Each structure stands twice: as C-alpha cells, then as structure tokens.
Amino acid sequence: MSANAPITQDLITIPRVLPDGPDNLVGMTRAAMRDALIKIGTPEKQAKMRVNQIWQWIYHWGARDFGEMTNLSKDLRAQMAEHFVIALPEVVTRQISDDGTRKYLVKIAGGHEVEVVYIPETDRGTLCISSQVGCTLTCSFCHTGTQTLVRNLTPAEIVGQIMVARDDLGEWPEAGLSTADQGPRLLSNIVLMGMGEPLYNFEAVRDAMLIAMDGEGISLSRRRITLSTSGVVPEIARTAEEIGCMLAVSFHATTDEVRDTLVPINKKWNIATLLEALRAYPKASNSERITFEYVMLKGVNDSDEDARRLVQLIKGIPAKINLIPFNEWPGAPYERSSGNRIKAFSDIVHNAGYSSPVRKPRGEDIMAACGQLKSETERARKSRKEIAADAGL
C-alpha cells in the first residue's frame, strides 16, 4: 500500500442479535452446549455427537444460520432456532492503516465498545483482542488505564472478536477444504494485549481461549496464543494449568520504586514475587519462554544500568525481551526513548544472550498501536456525536 493511501473508515451495519433473550451458543464450553441441548430435549446419548456437529458448523465453517447445518435433522434445527442464537459482537467501524493494520470498533451488549486490531505480517497475521471494557489498573503510561472499567467481556464477546475478524478477512474454509489446504492462515496468532487485564477476567478468557484452541473449530495452537498480564501473580500458575498458552508480562522497570509508579499492581505483587511465579511458568505450561514486555520511556527506565539490571533479574528464565517504543497519546506524561537509546539498551540485553526485538509500532495513524486503544473510541464517539449535531439531531 502506498504511504499516502487514504485511511478508510467504513461504517458497517450488519444487524446481529445481541446476547440477551435466547441462549447464545457462541462462547459456551462443550459441556455447557451439551447441557443446553439436553435441556431442549436432545437425548443424552446423542448430545455429545450433536455438540461435535454444531461446534464444527460454528467454529470451523463459520455458520451463522441453523438452516445451514444440513447434517442435523430439520426438527432439531427448528428447535435450535427457537431456543438459541449464534450472536457475535457488532462491528461498528473498521479502519485500515497505511501499513495494512486493521482496527475494528466492536459493540457488545449494553452498547459498550471495545477495540480489536489485526496486524498482518508477511508470513502470518496477529489479532490483538480485548478482555475488558477499559481496565481497573492504572499503569501511568497506558491510555486504556485512564478509562475506568465498565465491565468484563463474556467468553462469547472474546471469541466473537476472532470470529468477526475472520469474517472481515474472508477466512472461513471453503466446503471440501480443510483449514490447512487453504495455505498460510491470515489470522494465525492471537495476542491478549488489547484493552483490559486478562487475568482479572480469568474464567471468561480461559473459556474463550479453549474454544479458539479446539482442534475441531478455530484450531489455533496454544503456542500461537499469547496472554499479556501486568503481573496478577495468583493467576499465573492457573494460566499455565488451565490455558497453557504463551505468557507475556508487562515488566517495564527494574526496581520496585520505578515499577510501583509505572505498573501500580507492583505494590501488591512486587518484582521478586512476580519473578518467582514467572520462573515456574514455562515448565508448568510446557511453553518455551516468557516474553518480557518493556516499554521504552525517555529518562525513566531506559538507561544502560536498567538494561544490565534487567538481565540480572531474569537470569535463569527462558525469555525474550520485547522492547516497545512508547506510543504517545494526548496528555501522556512520558516521551519515547530515542532510537539510539533503544538500540543501546537492546544491544546490552542481546549480548547477555536474550533475543531483544524492538516492536515496530503498527497502525499508529489510526491510533491502533499498543496503549493507544482508548482515544479512538472516544474520537469515534465524538465524531458520531458531531455528525448527529450537524444533522440537527
């Protein structure tokens, strides 16, 4: 795409049922779906097989209509249509950045909005999904943190973000082809790095990720799913046991004094306590390494001494250090470290034997980069308000 290609902002109006009234099959665990089928009269003996069939229709084929489920009897289809819905969040706007990054503003029950970002790369594509509307934590460099939490997302709203992105990318398999036959997947990786602290919404995140990993549906390997936490220590062992995905941690500082101000949850679980939980994670989850996220803030956490302290602290933990140049937002109290500073920091970490890539900001022109995910919601809201005002409404 050319550097000055226009940013598109489409208004998409696909009417979709919001998840109140009939039960939404999206987001149910297999066990819950089985119970729901039995409740509407499916014989217990058949229930497991029916779950398999419905599961494949919804998560492998992307079916949205019970009428499509041709290997189920007409009676069952009619009954399902009476009692259930297949409901996804509604995509309100889609913006496409100069660099191909797509940002979706999706509306969930109650009229709340969350943001979902798709980042295409040459050999893969990553979807950054949200777990909460806003965040209860108040990391001082994060824009999402300035938005008070409205609510936790449900499993349907979390897995629904993946499904609406697949809709937009046209990535449901064609009849007769398996997912593997279709070539490299456009949406091949998931990162829980959007709005919210995933470990403060543990059960919903777990259920949604188990659906995303299920081999009969979306079928993403647990190694292609990365959950990022600010350091909710008591839930880290549970993440290993009950989800088993890759873990990223918002580390960002090498002393408790600095981390207390950047990531205030550090006052509850400090660096030493966090590192202890992280040391146990790779073995417990059978994943190779942990990603340490480290935002580069000019004059705050970016000295050579910080870099050296960092490698000392994480000694013995299989790790990759992801350096994130600070993404600015209106009124932010920090500045991004210079390119030279980031390079010097990265070299020290690299020379100590750790991979230390610098995360390239993506989608900055549409405010889709890490930590910017509040403002566009507000801007979009404002502009819609302005439009209404202009129209004399």
130 binds ligand SF4 (CB under 6 A): no
324 binds, among ligand SAH, ligand SF4, none (CB under 5 to 8 A by kind): ligand SAH
Least Å distance, CB 138 to ligand SF4, is 6
Least Å distance, CB 86 to ligand SF4, is 30
Would residue 370 show up in a list of annotated catalytic residues for this protein?
yes
346 binds ligand SF4 (CB under 6 A): no
153 binds, among ligand SF4, ligand SAH, none (CB under 5 to 8 A by kind): none
Residues that bind ligand SAH (CB under 6 A): 139, 141-142, 193, 197, 228-230, 250, 293, 295, 324, 326-327, 370-371
Sites for ligand SF4 among residues 211-250 (CB under 6 A): 230, 250
145 binds ligand SF4 (CB under 6 A): yes
Rule CB under 6 A: choose which of 130, 144, 254, 266 binds ligand SF4: 144
Binding segment (CB under 6 A) for ligand SF4, from list 79-87, 130-138, 151-159, 279-287: 130-138
Q: Which is nearer to ligand SAH, 160 or 194 (CB)?
A: 194
Q: How far apart are CA 323 and CA 354, in angstroms?
A: 12
Would residue 241 show up in a list of annotated catalytic residues for this protein?
no
Classify the C-alpha dihedral 290-295-296-301 as positive or negative: negative
Which residue among the candidates 115, 197, 235, 376 is catalytic per the annotation? 115
Which residue among the candidates 135, 142, 245, 370 is catalytic per the annotation? 370
Q: Which residues bind ligand SF4 (CB under 6 A)?
A: 135, 137-139, 142, 144-145, 196-197, 230, 250
Write out the catalytic residue numbers.
115, 370
